[in-house]
Structure 1
Amino acid sequence: MGSMASQRETLIVEALMMMVMVALGGYVSQAQAAYSLRGLGRAHATYYGGPDGQGTMGGACGYGNLYNTGYGLSTAALSAPLYNGGRACGACYRLTCDTSGSKYCYGGGKSITITVTNFCPSGSTGGWCNPPKQHFDLSYPMFTTLAQAAGGVIPVNYRRVACNKKGGMRFTISGNPYFYQVLVFNVGGAGDVQRLFMKGPRTGWIAMKRNWGQVWQYRGGPKGLVGQPLSFRAHTSDGRYVISPNATPANWRFGQTFEGKNFPRNLF
């Protein structure tokens, strides 16, 4: 009896908190920990795909058509040390070409800001993505913003930066009542979702498991989330999280995409 009463009290508290968040339009936490990778790093960059981006769509982060998910061609595939098993998916970096290391770099302090959308596996790009090398395999338009294509491989300086995205975080729900998958994209702030939770009005927060990239899964069943509005809580690597209350209507369907709250611009 005691445990049932405690569970009811927890659900009541969560329901009250959710009512407050709905009234406020969502919630963004303050940073809980300093992020450790904001310093300047050195790496090399190559390019893949053509001038129109052909060959860069899809990728190991699960974003599919990068135009449809808002990333376009401002993207990169990272070597294993930076990709970190998919945990870097959605992170943003600012790159400059090191003019002291290549005659192909354009001068004038040109820089690009990219989002991580793919993985550059060992053995590709002539071995430049082999661990422990830190490497960015850029789309052709991004590479040629920094240097002449003839350079092939260029030294770059990089830094983690805030991801400034338009609109809210997006959630694409797929699967079935017994196996939910949620692709989360268009994430601002640190950009790289490290933990994702969802809940209905009759449940507590349910922790989802990373399936691959930014595709998260939950084996459903008796909790019966179909037929009720869903809320999401996304945590990023800088210790912040954002809650999107009732991001879906009660009559949501698998295969649909919904827009939630996002981190404020320049927050990282």
Structure 2
Amino acid sequence: MLPPTTLLFQTLLTAAAFTLLFSLPQLVHSHYHSSSSAPSTYTEWRSARATYYAPAEPGDPVGGACGYGDLEKMGYGKATAALSTVLFEKGQICGACFQVRCVEDLRWCIPGTSIIVTATNFCAPNYGFEADGGGHCNFPNAHFVFPIEAFEKIAIWKASNMPIQYRRVKCRREGGVRFTVDGAGIFLSVLISNVAGAGDMVAVKIKGSRTGWLPMGRNWGQNWHINADFKNQPLSFEITNSDGITLTSYSVAPRDWTYGQTFEGKQFDS
């Protein structure tokens, strides 16, 4: 039997995988891309499976395993996915984009269709079931969980657990990279969202007018943190995506920034 702390942790992860937060500012709206957009690919097609979830009551205090909160207000809409452990990479993958298509089932697949979704959440394993039984997100399964609105773009909802193929593609975004600043005192937390190109960050640095460039640590998902006094200093950010491309946005936040604000910087090529 698992210890109480482990059970509590798994319960919190499961809750975070399927609910959203409604307190963040309104940002740009995303949309579905069809396969005709011919996105640049990073990987070849790979096999996985996919299920869906219906809308749930918004009660998650942390806004999902990537920390984006209300996906509609953050601009991701319904074109999103929760990923199983083998794909989630401990949150590194948050913000990455995948093209997904339904395969092998002529009865339930919608022919000639595909969708592009952003990784925004984690599908926690359920070890009460075998990986080839009800434990869809158990290791080593490659599994996607979509909102039903996204699932129905490629398959009929009655199909439930569908074989799919997926591949990494470049993310296309409207507007610049978003930096949502939070914290208290000398603890500074920054949520990085609306990232084009590779979409997922591997390194972040911050600079005030009275500091040099300081590395930030990944807190969880695409939330990055540092302990430093940046009061009354404009904030600049240097972010590196998983392709190794670095983007620098100078003085994104003005000198009089406050916690809870969102600022827009430059954008990667998409």
TM-score range, shorter chain: 0.7 to 0.9
Call closer, same or farther: CA 1:186–1:218 in 2, change over 3 Å.
Answer: same
1:213 to 207, 216, 221: 221
1:232 to 211, 230, 237: 237
1:134 to 138, 142, 163: 142
The answer as to 2:100 corresponding to 1:95 is: yes
Q: Percent identity at matched positions?
A: 44
Call closer, same or farther: CA 1:206–1:256 in 2, change over 3 Å.
Answer: same
- How far is 1:178 from its partner? 1.6
2:204 to 196, 207, 227: 196
Instruction: Work out whether residues 66 and 91 of structure 2, in 8 Å CA contact, stay in contact via their aligned partners in 1.
Output: yes
Inter-partner Cα distance in structure 2 for 1:54 and 1:261: 34
* 1:232-251 pair list within 5 angstroms: 232-251=237-256
- How far is 1:126 from its partner? 2.5
Deviations 1:65-114 (A, max 9, x none): 1111110110000001110000000000000000x24521111x100000
Could you tell me which runs of 5 or more consecutive residues in structure 1 were left unpaired when the two chains were aligned: 1-35
- How far is 1:201 from its partner? 2.0
2:163 to 126, 142, 155: 155
- State the number of aligned residues: 223
The answer as to 2:185 corresponding to 1:177 is: yes
Letter in 1 for 2:230: L
**Structure with higher helix content:** 1
TM-score by length of 2: 0.79
The answer as to 2:64 corresponding to 1:59 is: yes
Match of 2:109 in 1: 105
Inter-partner Cα distance in structure 2 for 1:120 and 1:42: 17
Instruction: Work out whether residues 96 and 110 of structure 1, in 8 Å CA contact, stay in contact via their aligned partners in 2.
Output: yes
- Relative contact order, higher structure (CA 8 A, sep 6+): 1
Match of 1:116 in 2: 119
Deviation beyond 6 Å, 4+ runs, structure 1: none
Deviations 1:103-136 (A, max 9, x none): 21111x1000000000001018931100111010
Deviations 1:207-263 (A, max 9, x none): 11111111111112xxx3110110001111111111111101111011111000110
Match of 1:254 in 2: 259
Could you tell me which runs of 5 or more consecutive residues in structure 2 were left unpaired when the two chains were aligned: 1-40, 128-132
Instruction: Work out whether residues 76 and 115 of structure 1, in 8 Å CA contact, stay in contact via their aligned partners in 2.
Output: yes
Instruction: Work out whether residues 42 and 169 of structure 2, in 8 Å CA contact, stay in contact via their aligned partners in 1.
Output: no
Call closer, same or farther: CA 1:185–1:198 in 2, change over 3 Å.
Answer: same
Instruction: Work out whether residues 38 and 160 of structure 1, in 8 Å CA contact, stay in contact via their aligned partners in 2.
Output: yes
Inter-partner Cα distance in structure 2 for 1:162 and 1:96: 16
RMSD between superposed Cα atoms in Å: 1.9
Question: Helix, strand or coil: the match of 1:150?
Answer: helix
Inter-partner Cα distance in structure 1 for 2:67 and 2:196: 17
Letter in 2 for 1:112: I
- How far is 1:160 from its partner? 0.4
Letter in 1 for 2:189: Q
- How far is 1:177 from its partner? 2.9
